Chain A
C-alpha cells in the first residue's frame, strides 16, 4: 500500500526567519488610504518648499491690510485668500510656512524618541536581569509624569526655542516606545532564529541590532506614525502658551493664540491654523491606523 502512493513534497518552512513576514512594497501599496496620504504629502511639500509657494512673505506686515476676512466674506480679497491677522500678515502664507515648523518638530521628536525608546527596549528586554529592572523603573518613572505639565515647566525654564522643544519632547517621550517595544523584543527573543544565531556564536550586540531590531521596525513605524499627531498637538499647545517656537517664526499654535484676543472681530485668525493642525493630525492618525492593520492585524490593543 505504501508503494502506490508517493511521499509528500510539502516543504513550506523555508528560512526560519521568514516566519516574521517581510513586507513587500506591492503588499503595502494595496489599499493605501489615499486621502490622508495626499493631505500629508501636501503639507510636507508646504513644509519643504514653503518659501517658494507662499503668495506673500509670512513675516511681512502690512498695516493697511489689517484684519482682512477670508476671500468668501464681504470685505474679503482674493489677494489674501484666508484673510490677514492683526498686523496685516497673510494667514495662508503663515500656515504654509508653519507646516514646516510643525513637521520639523514632529519628525525630529518622533525619530529621536523612537530611537531612544528602541535602544532602551532592546537593552532591557534582551539583556534582562538588573539592566531590565533598572531601565524599566526609569521607564515607569517617565511614564508616570504628567507629560504636559513637566513639558511646560521645562520649556519655561529653558526658554522658548524650536530646538528646546524638540529636545524636551524627545527626552520625555521615549518611555512610551520603550514599553511597547520591550514586549515585542521579549516575544521575539524566544524565536527559533534567535536561538540559531546564539548557537552560531553571534555576539549580543549583533543579535540585538542585526536580528531583533529589523523585526521591531514594523511596530516602531506604526507607533511613530501614531505619535506624530500627538507631538504636533503638544508642540502647538506649547506655542499657544508662548513657550514653544518663538516669534517671528510662524507656528500654528501661536497663530491661534494671536487670534484669540481678536476673536470677536476676526474669527478666521484662530480658526484656519486649527484646521491645519486637525488635518495633519487626522491624516497621520488614519495612516497610522492603516499601517497598524497592515503590518499586524492582531494589533488592536494599542
Chain B
C-alpha cells in the first residue's frame, strides 16, 4: 500500500512539473512580459528597469528555476491589478469557491447516484426513460446558459432569488444548482451504466442462487461493486466542477477563484493567472491521487498489482 502511494506521488510530482513549465511559459507566449505588465505611459528605461526587477534579463531556465523555487515556498509574486501577494488573494477567495463546490457536489451525489442506480435496477421502465432523458438533456446544455435561464426564471420573472453575489443561502441556490447540473447528469449516466454492468455479472446470479433477498443482492453485491467505477469516474470528473466554477462564478458574480481567474485574465495580471492555473492543476492532480488511493482501499485487487 505504501509502495503504491509513493509511486503515485512521484507520478503526480512529474505531472505537476510538466504543467508548471507550461504555466511559466504562458506569460512569455505573447511577447515581452515587461511590456505587457508596464503601464502604457512607461518610458523605455522604466521598462528595462522593470525587466531587471522581474529577472527577465536572465536566461529562461534561470527564470524558471526562480519561479519554481519561489512557488514552492508559497511566493507567487505580486498581483499587478491588486498589488497584493497572489497567494494571499487566492486564499481569500478560495473558501467561497469551496462553499459553492461543496453545495454543488452534495446536490450531485444526492440526486445523481441514486437516480442512476435506480434507473439501472428498473431498466427499461418509465423511471429509466425519465432518468436517461434527464441525464442526456443535462449534458447537452452549456453551463452559462443554464445559469442564465435559471436567473431568468427565478430572479427576473419570479423574483424569488437574487441574481448575483454572495450572502444568504438564497444566493447559493442557483449557482450551486448550475454548477452541479452538468456533473449530476454525467453521474446519473455513469451510475446507470456501472450498475447495469454489475447486475449482468455472474456473482449477482450467484447471490440470487444462494437465495439472498433481492435487496441484499442489489445493495450489498450490486451497489458496492458498482461504486468502484462510479467513484473513480466521479472523482476523475470533479475537474468538470472546477472548470464549471469559472463560468458559474462569472455568470452569478460569485466571488470565488473562478471569477478571480477571469478578472485577472482580462486585467492582464499574469502573475495572478499563473498562480490560479498552477494551484488549480495541483488541486486536480492531488485529488486524483487521493481518489486512486481510496480506490485501492475499496478494491483489494489493486493493492497487489
Chain A contacts to B: CB under 8 angstroms:
137-138, 140-141, 144-150, 152-154, 156-159, 229, 233, 236-237, 240-243, 253, 256, 259-260, 263-264, 267, 270-271, 274, 277-278, 281-282, 285-286, 300-301
Contact = CB atoms under 8 A, between A and B. Distances in A.
Given A236-B142, A277-B145, 10 more contacts: A137-B18, A144-B19, A144-B284, A146-B281, A149-B277, A237-B143, A270-B152, A281-B140, A282-B136, A301-B229
B273 interface: yes
B168 to A, nearest CB: 22
A260 B251 CA distance: 9
B148 interface: yes
Contacts, number: 134
A145 B277 CA distance: 9
A144 B152 contact: no
B1 interface: no
B111 to A, nearest CB: 20
Interface of B: 11, 14-15, 18-19, 22, 26-27, 29-30, 136-137, 139-145, 148-149, 151-152, 156, 193, 196-197, 229, 239, 242-244, 246-247, 250-251, 261-262, 265-266, 273, 276-277, 280-281, 284-285, 288
B20 to A, nearest CB: 11
B134 to A, nearest CB: 12
Contacts of B197: 300-301
Contacts of A242: 266
B242 to A, nearest CB: 5
Contact of B246 (A152, A229, A278): A152
Contact of B285 (A137, A138, A144, A260): A144
Nearest to B29: A157
A153 B265 contact: yes
Interface centre among A154, A233, A253, A285 (most CB of B within 10 A): A233
B239 A147 contact: yes
Nearest to A147: B243
26 contacts: A144-B19, A147-B243, A148-B243, A148-B244, A150-B281, A152-B265, A153-B265, A153-B273, A156-B265, A157-B30, A158-B30, A237-B143, A240-B247, A241-B247, A260-B251, A263-B151, A270-B145, A274-B142, A274-B145, A278-B137, A281-B139, A281-B140, A281-B141, A282-B137, A285-B136, A285-B140
Contact of B19 (A145, A156, A158): A145
A240 B144 contact: yes
B148 A260 contact: yes
Nearest to A260: B148
Given A144-B285, A270-B148, A150 B193 contact: no
B136 A144 contact: no
